[in-house]
């Protein structure tokens, strides 16, 4: 309550009443000193200088200023201390004319302080103490106001920082949510694209498999057709070859038969010609046989005769060998292709037919 009252008083007329009371009191003190001073001194001084204060300096009335958020208002200057009573000036002896020098007057001893001087000093001390107390209260009040203002500004700054921090957090949260939403959308898009890509790959794989299967079936069908055609061709070829072989075999058989017949015919003719020229030795027992290898020339001439197997009777062997030489030229078929059958001729002759 005291602080509130002091605040109201200072807001209306800060320092006016104490300053006025102090000024009045100081004036009264000096007037009293002037009045009673002449009666207390046994011998008045020749001259005295007294400095009078018409009025104490009053502090300017502080106009209420709106609170400044940035910096606290400066503290008002402290009121000036009331001036102390001026000390009693020393009385200077007047200089006499040089014509009549006088002896130096004896200075009167200062009278001991009277009771009124003590009371005045006590009152002055009380007034000064009261003024100082009032000043301290004003300074403390101003200090409290400055501290309260500083606290309010700090609280406002703290709230402002808290709001800014909250706003930044909300913006960061919003940005994080946007980024998260964007990330989810990108992941969903990527997943959808991957699924579509996989679906396309599955469809392409299925299509490739179908095409490969179709191609395999076509190739298999083609292979079967080729195999069937090849088989038919082989069968036809085999049939034709069989027919040709049969015809060739028949022709060859016929030719061989004809050749064999021709060879047999001329072998019989050669053997008959040789046998017609043998001079048989008489009375050989059994039916001995002798075998010769005869090498012929294309005209039927004999190139060589070699005994291959003896009959055991040299006379019969020699008789047959002589007959071979006597039978040249031996009869040969007119076809030169058959001469190979007679080039190396094997001649076997039995003693008895």
The domain spans of the chain are: 2-56+70-87+110-171, 277-350
The predicted model gives 39-65 an average pLDDT of: 47
What is residue 150's three-state secondary structure? helix
| pLDDT tens digits, 226-265 | 899 988 988 899 888 888 888 888 887 887 788 788 888 8
How many Å from the N-terminal Cα to the C-terminal Cα in the chain? Answer: 186
Residue 105 pLDDT > 60 = no
**pLDDT value for 249:** 81
Confidence of residue 75 (pLDDT cuts 50, 70, 90): low
| pLDDT tens digits, 282-311 | 888 989 999 999 998 988 888 999 999 999
The predicted model gives 29-52 an average pLDDT of: 56
**pLDDT value for 89:** 46
| pLDDT tens digits, 169-211 | 998 899 889 989 999 999 989 999 999 999 999 999 999 999 9
Classify domain 277-350 by CATH number: 3.30.1150.10
Q: Which of 266, 312, 310, 265 is nearest to 286 (CA)?
A: 312
Q: Which of 95, 90, 67, 224 is nearest to 153 (CA)?
A: 67
Which runs of consecutive H residues, i.e. helices, occur in the chain?
2-12, 16-40, 115-276, 314-326, 340-343
**pLDDT value for 24:** 75
**pLDDT value for 292:** 93
The predicted model gives 251-280 an average pLDDT of: 86
329: cis peptide before it, omega within 30°?
Answer: yes
What is residue 348's three-state secondary structure? strand
What is residue 80's three-state secondary structure? coil
**pLDDT value for 115:** 62
CB-facing half-sphere around the CA of 108: CA atoms within 13 A: 10
Percent of the residues in the chain that have a pLDDT greater than 90, as a whole number: 35
| pLDDT tens digits, 22-40 | 777 877 877 777 666 544 4
Q: Round to whole Å and give the CA distance between 339 and 327.
A: 18
Q: Which of 61, 67, 72, 59 is nearest to 22 (CA)?
A: 59
Q: Round to whole Å and give the CA distance between 345 and 273.
A: 14
Confidence of residue 314 (pLDDT cuts 50, 70, 90): very high
């Amino acid at each position: 309550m005291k602080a509130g009252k002091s605040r109201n008083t200072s807001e209306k007329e800060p320092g006016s009443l104490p300053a006025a009371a102090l000024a009045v009191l100081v004036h009264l003190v000096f007037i009293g000193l002037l009045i009673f001073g002449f009666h207390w001194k046994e011998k008045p001084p020749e001259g005295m200088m007294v400095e009078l204060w018409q009025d104490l300096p009053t502090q300017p009335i502080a106009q209420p200023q709106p609170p400044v958020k940035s910096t606290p208002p400066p503290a008002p200057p402290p009121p000036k201390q009331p001036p102390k009573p001026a000390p009693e000036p020393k009385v200077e002896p007047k200089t006499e004319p040089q014509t009549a020098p006088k002896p130096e007057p004896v200075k009167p001893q200062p009278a001991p302080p009277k009771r009124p001087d003590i009371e005045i000093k006590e009152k002055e001390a009380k007034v000064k103490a009261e003024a100082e107390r009032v000043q301290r209260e004003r300074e403390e009040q101003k200090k409290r106001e400055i501290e309260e203002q500083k606290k309010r500004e700090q609280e406002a700054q703290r709230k402002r920082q808290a709001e800014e921090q909250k706003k930044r957090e909300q913006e960061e949260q919003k940005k994080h949510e946007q980024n998260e939403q964007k990330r989810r959308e990108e992941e969903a898009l990527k997943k959808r694209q991957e699924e579509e890509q996989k679906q396309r790959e599955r469809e392409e794989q299925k299509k490739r498999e179908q095409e490969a299967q179709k191609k395999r079936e076509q190739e298999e069908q083609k292979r079967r057709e080729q195999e069937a055609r090849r088989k038919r061709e082989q069968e036809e070829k085999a049939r034709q070859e069989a027919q040709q072989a049969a015809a060739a075999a028949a022709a060859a058989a016929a030719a061989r038969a004809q050749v064999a017949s021709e060879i047999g015919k001329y072998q019989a003719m050669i053997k008959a010609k040789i046998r017609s020229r043998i001079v048989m030795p008489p009375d050989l027992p059994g039916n001995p046989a002798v075998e010769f290898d005869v090498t012929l020339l294309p005209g039927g001439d004999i190139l060589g005769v070699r005994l291959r197997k003896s009959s055991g009777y040299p006379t019969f062997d020699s008789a047959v060998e002589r007959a071979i030489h006597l039978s040249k030229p031996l009869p040969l078929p007119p076809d030169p292709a058959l001469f190979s059958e007679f080039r190396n001729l094997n001649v076997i002759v039995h003693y008895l037919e």
